[in-house]
Amino acid sequence: MELIYTILITLFSLALLVTVHEFGHFWVARRCGVTVLRFSVGFGRPLLTWHDRHGTEYVIAMLPLGGYVKMLDERVEEVTPGAEDGAFNRKSVWARIAIVAAGPAANLILAVVAYWFVFIAGETGIAPIIGKVEADSVAAVAGLETGQEIVAIDGRATPTWQAVNFRLLDRIGDSGPLHFSVRYPDSDLVYQSTATLQNWLADSEQPNLVAGLGIQVMRPPIPVILDEIVADSPAAAAGLRSGDRVFAADGQLMPEWQQWVEYVRARPGTEMLLEYERDGVAAQALLIPARKQSDDGTTYGQVGVTVKVPEWPPEMVREFHYGPWSALVAATTRTGDLVIFTLNSIKKMLTGLISTKNLSGPITIAKVATASAESGLESFIAFLALLSVSLGVINLLPVPVLDGGHLLFYSLEALFGRPVPEKLQVVGYQVGLSIIMGVMVLALYNDITRL
């Protein structure tokens, strides 16, 4: 059932983004007087078809992994006499540029609309307060301290940890100064500090940005109050129940969850005497952690429980509310930031500043789509916006086969006053197809290795 849910969420996400993309081409083509023969969502066998008054055939096909808009074009098929004016190839180069650019533009507009809904609903984040600074780390070199709040990075405000991560994404693979603005609790004085990066996290496959600075997030204490007990686990065999509060193991106090986790992991197959409280009554149990083995061959203990995570203290929660106009401004800014970030990431990957292991394919998209959907509607809409930006930007790359490749050819035509020779276009499309297929294979390989 979980697999079916993942597949459905993924197909819905891709179908929506592709439909919006193709609708952009379709809508502008119609405005430019081009005859649209077919608008298909998906490939393969048609499941549903109908026609409008203009004669356009609309198709919903069996494989919703893409889509296309088929326009009348004399280069593709014979055009009946009198219908030539509706052919795509008969339109001016500027009309063709507008039609091709409309697909990626539609994806960027969708991102703005999606983020507008997210901002209208209101955003909630956690204040970026430092919990601990690792010795000899980037943060330590910058002189950051426990309890400080990071208010800006490189001059850009960071009111939440999400904002901190977004600013740090821009610096992956970079060398040079990283500027922090911080303040102490209950103080309005802002202090400036700087650390120097050297190919920061360039070789990391799935970089943890905050940890990469040597910072641990300030979190409220998590007492060992059990939540879920896995069936047939050591915890279930010991008679533990949801709601039990563990306060000691082998006579050693366990005030926090992390301490408990480390204690259990260090004792695979070793019997321990557990002291806990249930409904205000103290009790004891013998618990033997199961032996588990990690990918590197290390053996660790596991008992099969989850913890009840307490709510964040109100003073650490940041809430942001927007009106319709301010939400539009924020949504446009967020989309623009993501466009720049995507282009920078592609540039860094091409120049070797970011590992190609960061490239993700359909499996990763499916996992993230499912996780965001499970996190709530706002999270899923934000994910769709991010994916829509990526689709729009990637399609604008000057690679033949992509929209950007067509725009390159049409721009050269506008510049020199004549079309790019057809033989050169064919070679370009073959090279472009090889590049796209290679990238897809690499992305899929990365997905599989992550599994």
Cα separation, 160 vs 158, in Å, equals: 6
Confidence (pLDDT) at 376: 79
Confidence (pLDDT) at 1: 63
Exposed/middle/buried for residue 191 (C-beta within 10 Å: 0-12, 13-18, 19+): middle
Tell me how far CA of residue 324 lies from CA of 112, 158, 308, 327, 388, in angstroms.
13, 23, 37, 5, 22
Confidence (pLDDT) at 207: 77
Confidence (pLDDT) at 378: 83
Find tokens 């796209």 and name the residue.
436
Structural domains of the chain sorted by starting position, each given as residue range(s) with its CATH number in brackets: 2-32+91-121+379-450 (no CATH), 124-220+312-320 (2.30.42.10), 226-310 (2.30.42.10)
Q: Residue type for 300, please? A: Y
Confidence (pLDDT) at 450: 67
**Residues labelled catalytic:** 22
Give the pair of three-digit tokens for residue 324: 């319709």
The pTM is what?
A: 0.81
Confidence (pLDDT) at 181: 94
SS3 content of the chain, % helix, strand, coil (to 5): 45, 25, 30
Identify the segments of the chain with pLDDT beneath 70. Answer: 1, 295, 361-362, 366, 368, 450-451
Q: Which helix (H) or strand (E) holds 306?
A: strand 305-307
Cβ atoms of 296 and 228 within 8 Å: the answer is no
Confidence (pLDDT) at 183: 93
